[in-house]
Structure 1
Amino acid sequence: MSARRILIAALAAAFSLVTACSGDPGPRSTLPGGPDLVGKSAEAMRTVKSAAFAMETENTPQLQVKKASGRLSATGDADGTLQLDFAGSLQEISFVLAGDTVHFKGVTGGFQKMSRSELAAIYDPSAILDPERGVVRLLSNALDPKTEAEEKVGGADAYRLSATLSQQILAAMVPGIAQSVDGTLWIDKATSRLLKADLPLSAGKVTVSFTDYDVPVRVTAPAE
């Protein structure tokens, strides 16, 4: 083979190798930045008028409230159920928070009353949608938020983030949390609203989820 043919063959082989190595990798998914996501989510949550929530603990975190679920309005009214740990005994309480009065009852018996401040010492669902105390403040003060992946939560497309969340703000919503938390958040891609939060604690974790955003909620006190 002549030198010219050898050179042409070598160049062709080199060109083929470069082409194979530098081919089109296809579309890439670029995740948005964590600070931008939590900022948008805080603004989206500020406009929420109502939501349904569920809170559940796993294992044995040192919290009196083991489960909670219900409906929330941005005006501060709420209704639902709490599962409380009284000296190792679990008791389920139904509550209706309307105005400054909380109506509550156990599995048996009728409704009794307590003040909003008395309920807040145990669990204050009205804080969740309060921009000055709840989710908006929590997101606005999240430290080192990092977007990790895209996932589905309850059928909705969401971004999963990690962030350090303030103990002081978390405790306003779930009394008994005594540490800042390296938590995981899921933020809805379409609306930027918070869908779910995992909060690892000593001896367990708390999971909070939200659904039914802006579905009308009318909370009325039970008949006496």
Structure 2
Amino acid sequence: MSARWLSVCALALLTSCTSGGDLPDGATLLSKSAESMRSVKTVHFTIKVDGELPDVPVKDADGDLTATGESKGTAKVTFGGQLLSVEYVLTGGNLHFKGPTGGYTTLPAAFAGQVYDPSAILNPDKGVAKVLASAKDARTKSSGDVSVVEATVPGDVAAGLVPGISADVKSTFSIGGDDKLKSALFELPGGQKVDIGLTDLDKPVTVTAPA
């Protein structure tokens, strides 16, 4: 076999691997992921906010969450011009939180919405399942063990997951071979970015109020 023939074969193989026509349909990937995420009962999540969002004082958060809305973890929150690290437990209709010093303070769970309510993530009516199902103009960028899909999410839908969004947002979703969402990146018109990561889906999570 000549070197020229080998080069032609290699070029053909490379073209077939990178051709957009060989990539799975983006809308189908998002639809399957939306359906799959509706059945998720627990998840470990991370949230990172790049830029200032007036309705989201959280800069980053890391915690566990159940589909019933119970959650525990840590967060960095902007308060009074300062960035504070807090621990929180959301359970039994109450939000328990404490800062760098002192013990826990308890408030009604509704207060979490004034900071960031992580229970929205697995809420099928406004969380990631709703976002995936509502995304438009989906385009698969790459596929393999993880598929990357770019799409546009309507502002009113994205606001259910990230408060304060008022316009359509460019979004990038990473979806595993099991159709489960691994991450979602939202790029707002003002340049801000919100990155949500999901791991440990359906692993046991126990949330109890602090003593």
1:134-213 alignment, distance < 5 Å:
134-150=127-143, 157-189=145-177, 191-201=178-188, 202-213=190-201
Stretch of structure 1 that moved more, 194-203 or 207-216: 194-203
Query: Are residues 1:97 and 2:106 paired?
Result: no
Shift of 1:23: 6.8
What percentage of aligned pairs have identical amino acids? Answer: 38
Instruction: Give the TM-score normalised by the residue count of structure 1.
Output: 0.81
Gap regions ≥5 residues in structure 2: none
Superimposed CA distance per residue, residues 58-96 of structure 1 (whole angstroms, 9 cap, x where no aligned partner): 244544111111001111111111211124211112110
Superposition RMSD in Å: 2.2
Query: Are residues 1:115 and 2:103 paired?
Result: no
Structure 1 equivalent of residue 27 of structure 2: 35
1:113 counterpart SS class: strand
Over 3 Å counting, the alpha-carbon distance change for 1:179 and 1:64 in structure 2 is: farther
- Computing the radius of gyration from Cα coordinates, the structure with the larger value is 1
Instruction: Give the TM-score normalised by the residue count of structure 2.
Output: 0.86
Structure 2 equivalent of residue 88 of structure 1: 81
Stretch of structure 1 that moved more, 211-220 or 113-122: 113-122
1:29-68 alignment, distance < 5 Å:
29=17, 30-62=22-54, 63-68=56-61
Superimposed CA distance per residue, residues 127-166 of structure 1 (whole angstroms, 9 cap, x where no aligned partner): 1001112011111111111111136xxxxx2111111112
Aligned residues of 1:124 and 1:172 also touching (Cα < 8 A): no
Opposite residue 200 of structure 1, the aligned amino acid is E
Over 3 Å counting, the alpha-carbon distance change for 1:203 and 1:36 in structure 2 is: closer
Over 3 Å counting, the alpha-carbon distance change for 1:146 and 1:73 in structure 2 is: same
Aligned residues of 1:198 and 1:208 also touching (Cα < 8 A): yes
Shift of 1:168: 2.1
1:70 counterpart SS class: strand
1:145 counterpart SS class: strand
Aligned residues of 2:24 and 2:143 also touching (Cα < 8 A): no
1:120 counterpart SS class: helix
